[in-house]
Amino acid sequence: MIVHPIDYRYGTKEMRRIWSEESKLKRMIWVEMALLKALAKAGYLSEEEALEAKKRAKAVSLKRVKEIEDEIKHDVMALVKALGEVTNCGWIHFGATSNDIIDTATATQLRDSLLIFEFKLKKLIDLLCKKAIEYKSVVCLGRTHGQAALPTTYGFRFALWAYEFARHYQRLQQLKDRVLIGKMSGAVGTQAAFGKDGFEIEKEVMRLLNLKPALISSQIVPRDGYCEYLEFLANLSTSLEKMATNFRILQRAEVGEVFEFFGEKQVGSSTMPHKRNPIESENICGLARVIRGFVEPQHQSAILWEERDLTNSSAERITLVEATILADHIITKAINVVSRIRLDLENIRKNLEAQKGLNLSEAVMIELARRGFDRQIAHEIVRKASMRAYANKTSLADELIKEDSLAKIFSKDELEKFLKPENYIGNAVERVERVVEWIRSVLNDTAH
């Protein structure tokens, strides 16, 4: 019986495959076989014996491992017994403790998951950069506190999001060194069973699995790496929710500037046939909150007694798996949303012009200061004119021209010029171009 929505609603096939029960078993077998090969290299058994055991290990089934676990109540020992049954090799698990196998197998899952996140982050960033360039000159109403502010451009907004995700891409590269580590060091980390061969055996196992050995560990690898990984996913999910929230705000009926793709046969409501809801963005926002909720239990799982206790084990079966699958789900959603997002240029212009110049009040104040007015006095003149424009539902130019002190300085035509949104976007276009150039250099550097 399927219970969890991850099994039928959330997550991509490629990420679920990495974290499936079958995948975990397969990866634990990889580690056991890498240990056998390293033991063979160190002279404990012949290379032929190790190779034969590896061939026979393919016959181990999840069903059989579960049968043994039901009987002995220990998951790793159940695997060891199942391997022993099919390989008839007495060196299986020699010198190892359970978390040598579990933590090292988990590192391979994290490695393969990060490759997927790396690929999808690059795809999302590339899409955002293309939107930034495409819309770099599309002037729109900026908003602060949900109220009209200075003009900006839609390209500027996309560039800002792209810049944020590019920094996540950098974080991903940086955390690999601290997260993709395994161990083969025994019950308390001292490699007592391996003696003088310990360093070389551990090094060889990790080489075979394309991982780094922990420089030092207890019975488990230090959990700060897992905490950092979960923090990365939480941080990434926050940026995804931030972008999705803005898409939702900008799709509101009274704004109507940005729209998610809506299929020809798509249904928005079971009772209101007209609805076109931003459901993809809402899905991103909802699941991002779940992902961030895993950070605290993972931090608690790093606080263990002496060389370790078992309180981390049950929590990590949930935190790492669900956070990874859900984060992959929402970044995939975000790629889909951004790739098919639609801007209503007519509404963007209409919302901008509906302000009747009020959102350009700073432009007039700055010009007055340039022409000799005290900046604070200029601010007060424009503020009062703005309040009258709100009250009278007139344009800012209409109210400003009534000021005797300004009528001598500005003609109404000049005022209208200062109150044109296109004339007050600063270096927005150039900044977009610069940030996109920087982002592409970042992606190219890491690719090499």
Q: What are the pLDDT digits (tens) for 119-139?
A: 999 999 999 999 999 999 999
Provide the pLDDT confidence category of residue 166 given band limits of 50, 70 and 90.
very high
- For residue 5, tell me if it sits in a domain: no
Residues 67 and 177 in one domain: no
Those residues whose C-beta lies under 8 Å from the C-beta of residue 110, and which sit 6 or more positions away, are: 179, 180, 229, 320
Same domain, 88 and 131: no
Q: How many domains does the chain have?
A: 3
Global pTM value? 0.94
Residue 3 inside a domain? The answer is no
Sign of CA dihedral 23, 28, 33, 35: positive
Q: Give the model's pLDDT for residue 152.
A: 97
**Does residue 272 lie in a domain region?**
no
Whether residues 146 and 27 fall in one domain = no
Query: How does pLDDT run across 135-157, given as a tens digit for each residue?
Result: 999 999 999 999 999 999 999 99
For residue 175, give both structure tokens.
């955390």
Are residue 69 and residue 52 in the same domain, yes or no? yes
Domain that holds residue 401: 358-418
Residues 39 and 74 in one domain: yes
Which among 94, 62, 70, 68 is positioned nearest to 81, based on CA atoms?
A: 68
Place 415 in a pLDDT band, splitting at 50, 70 and 90. confident
Regarding whether 313 and 200 lie in a shared domain, the answer is yes
Q: Which CATH number goes with the domain that contains 320?
A: 1.20.200.10
Is the same domain home to 185 and 215? yes
Q: Do residue 148 and residue 237 come from a single domain?
A: yes
**What confidence score (pLDDT) does residue 405 get?**
79
pLDDT category of residue 270 using cuts at 50, 70 and 90: low
Q: Are residues 291 and 239 in the same domain?
A: yes
Could you tell me if residue 148 is inside a domain?
yes
Structural contact between residues 365 and 378, judged by C-beta atoms closer than 8 angstroms = yes
Q: Which residues contact 403 (CB under 8 A, 6 or more apart)?
A: 381, 385
HSE (CB half, 13 Å, CA atoms) of 136?
A: 17
pLDDT tops 60 at residue 59: yes
Positions marked catalytic: 145, 269
Strand, helix or coil at 439? Answer: helix
Residue pLDDT, tens place only, 189-205 = 999 999 999 999 999 99
Asked if 19 and 157 sit in the same domain, the reply is no
Same domain, 123 and 90: no
Per-residue pLDDT at 414 exceeds 90: no
Whether 188 and 227 map to the same domain: the answer is yes
CATH code, domain carrying 43: 1.10.275.10
Which of 17-26, 73-82, 173-182, 256-265 shows the lowest mean pLDDT across its residues?
Answer: 256-265
For the segment 291-346, what is each residue's pLDDT rounded down to a tens digit?
999 999 999 999 999 989 888 888 999 999 999 999 999 999 999 999 999 999 99
